């Protein structure tokens, strides 16, 4: 007779609770202040923080099928999670931003939890995951000034705040599960929620200490279901592995509420003095663009000797190509509003090197040989225009994955660093720079603490 034991380690639980407390504390004191003008468009900037592992690899997402990481961007990956070792993952992201436009320099930063996820494999060919991740963000503040005469200047203050998040649950199955070939499919179904507020305040500065003016405010409330699809095919050539991956998100109408307000005030700095003369609330929807992300990964497994032991190293090359149909974007309220966006493409590459991938079985090798070393980069287009011209982004990234060598666990701490340069072709006066740092922790029970263990009783 055999039975299954749902087993958990008390030590692992204490570590998990400790790290959760640290992350939530950091998030509570997190800043949400950035002067990125692109987040002022519609529901905000949808290019928000990713998993720190994939940040370090240039945000190559479609083909990442690692058994010790939850890739919630391709739901077909869940069936590749290590059996009996469910993964709990949480990450924190900080970005510092410098903007130069027409001689005006602005700086800002924001910090947020970039994901919270749990993944588990079961029934030999299946896997599942659920969690929470950011979907869009609006967080900015910048000024524009237009001189009227020698003593008066028209000033415009643009401000935005808020974000939307996606609570998701996903399921994956390896429809083909042979020794040298695997075909996996998966889907995420999530609930999108949150709000963003964009305001514009205009007033005449004549040197007085108090300025009267007018304020316009636009608020978007999102409450809707949202889904994503994933696919991967893996096959072996000798001891090396090739992975083809793809994710697809169809064009979707998400339920939304649009609130437009207009107010006058005698003092733009005193919010209690605002007199609202117009407030219009309309229920409708926002049409989000179709996206397709396809990738290719080559995993090169090699063996070599150092002074003390044989190393089973692994070198992984990944390339990604992503397309976004931003011309599909619509705001469907009293009337349907189009946009001046363009369809965008992005190219990304990532390289990971692990000197000793079998670190659980090779205790004689040094710790640095068990660290995962990552670099990456990407070139992408932005759908939005600045002064009628579209912008491009170039990013370089690097990072490390440090395993927990406690009770032969596959848990790890991951760091990533990124530098992004955002420019407009032919416009030397405009430039934006982003400096990003991400920290993530993945927890899993040790080899001796596997969940759902089976024992036989005679």
Residues 6+ apart with CB under 8 A from 102: 429, 430
Q: Are 46 and 135 in contact (CB under 8 A)?
A: yes
Residues 6+ apart with CB under 8 A from 143: 104, 155, 156, 157, 158
User: Looking at residue 359, what is its pLDDT?
Assistant: 61
- Cβ burial, residue 388 (10 Å; 0-12/13-18/19+): exposed
What does the DSSP 8-state code read for residue 45? B
Distance between CA atoms of 50 and 53, rounded to whole angstroms?
8
Tell me which residue range forms the domain holding 338.
2-456
- Cβ burial, residue 414 (10 Å; 0-12/13-18/19+): buried
Distance between CA atoms of 37 and 140, rounded to whole angstroms?
6
Label residue 355 left, alpha or beta by phi (over 0 means left) and psi (-120 to 50 means alpha): alpha
User: Looking at residue 270, what is its pLDDT?
Assistant: 72
User: Looking at residue 446, what is its pLDDT?
Assistant: 63
Q: Tokens representing 80?
A: 């590749």
Q: Are 416 and 55 in contact (CB under 8 A)?
A: yes
The CATH number given to whatever domain includes residue 440 is 2.40.160
Residues 6+ apart with CB under 8 A from 84: 121, 445, 450, 451, 452, 453
Structural domains in the chain (count)? 1
Residue from 356, 351, 349 nearest 301 by CA: 356
Residue from 123, 119, 132, 131 nearest 81 by CA: 119
Which backbone phi and psi does 42 adopt, to 5 degrees? 55, -125
DSSP character string of 170-227: EEEEEEEE-SSEEEEEEEEEEEEEEEEEEEEEEEEE-S-SS--EEEEEEEEEEEEEEE
- Cβ burial, residue 126 (10 Å; 0-12/13-18/19+): middle
- Cβ burial, residue 283 (10 Å; 0-12/13-18/19+): exposed
Averages of pLDDT over each 10 residues, the chain, 458 residues: 42 52 47 48 72 94 91 96 88 86 73 89 94 86 75 80 92 95 97 91 78 85 96 95 97 93 80 74 93 97 68 92 93 79 94 83 72 96 77 94 77 94 79 91 72 52
Q: Are 385 and 425 in contact (CB under 8 A)?
A: no
Alpha-helix runs per DSSP H in 71-119: none
Q: Are 184 and 77 in contact (CB under 8 A)?
A: yes
Distance between CA atoms of 27 and 377, rounded to whole angstroms?
27
Instruction: Cite the beta strand spans of 238-355 per DSSP E.
Output: 240-249, 252-265, 275-288, 291-305, 310-324, 330-332, 336-337, 344-354
Alpha-helix runs per DSSP H in 327-431: none
Residue from 61, 56, 58, 115 nearest 91 by CA: 115
């Amino acid at each position: 007779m055999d039975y299954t034991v749902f087993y958990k380690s008390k030590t692992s639980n204490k570590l998990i609770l400790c790290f959760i407390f640290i992350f939530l504390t950091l998030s509570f004191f997190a800043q949400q202040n950035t002067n990125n003008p692109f987040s002022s468009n519609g529901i905000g900037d949808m290019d928000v923080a990713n998993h720190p592992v994939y940040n370090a690899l240039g945000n190559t997402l479609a083909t990442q099928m690692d058994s010790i990481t939850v890739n919630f961007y391709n739901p077909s990956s869940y069936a590749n999670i290590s059996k009996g070792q469910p993964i709990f993952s949480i990450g924190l992201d900080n970005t510092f931003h410098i903007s130069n436009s027409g001689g005006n320099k602005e700086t800002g930063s924001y910090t947020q939890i970039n994901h919270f996820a749990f993944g588990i494999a079961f029934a030999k060919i299946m896997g599942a995951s659920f969690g929470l991740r950011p979907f869009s963000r609006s967080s900015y503040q910048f000024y524009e000034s237009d001189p009227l005469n020698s003593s008066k200047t028209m000033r415009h203050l643009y401000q935005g705040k808020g974000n939307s998040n996606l609570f998701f649950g996903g399921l994956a199955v390896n429809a083909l599960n042979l020794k040298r070939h695997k075909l996996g499919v998966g889907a995420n179904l999530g609930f999108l929620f949150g709000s963003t507020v964009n305001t514009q305040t205009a007033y005449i500065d004549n040197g007085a200490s108090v300025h009267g003016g007018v304020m316009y405010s636009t608020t978007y409330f999102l409450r809707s279901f949202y889904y994503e699809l994933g696919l991967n095919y893996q096959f072996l050539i000798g001891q090396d592995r090739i992975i083809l991956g793809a994710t697809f998100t169809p064009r979707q109408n998400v339920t939304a509420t649009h609130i437009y307000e207009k107010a006058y005030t005698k003092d733009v700095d005193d919010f209690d003095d605002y007199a609202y003369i117009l407030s219009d609330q309309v229920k409708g929807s926002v049409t989000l663009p179709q996206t397709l992300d396809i990738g290719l990964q080559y995993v090169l497994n090699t063996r070599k000797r150092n002074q003390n032991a044989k190393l089973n190293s692994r070198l992984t090359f990944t390339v990604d190509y992503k397309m976004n149909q931003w011309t599909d974007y619509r705001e469907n309220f009293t009337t349907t509003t189009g946009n001046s966006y363009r369809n965008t493409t992005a190219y990304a590459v990532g390289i990971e090197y692990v000197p000793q991938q079998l670190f659980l079985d090779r205790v004689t090798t040094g710790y640095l040989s068990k660290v995962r070393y990552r670099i990456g980069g990407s070139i992408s287009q932005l759908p939005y225009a600045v002064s009628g011209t579209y912008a491009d982004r170039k990013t370089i990234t690097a990072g490390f994955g440090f395993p927990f060598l406690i009770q032969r666990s596959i848990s790890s701490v991951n760091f990533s660093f990124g530098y992004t340069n955002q420019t407009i072709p032919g416009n030397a006066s405009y430039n934006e720079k982003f400096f990003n740092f991400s920290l993530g922790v993945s927890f899993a029970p040790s080899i001796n603490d596997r969940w759902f263990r089976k024992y036989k009783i005679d």
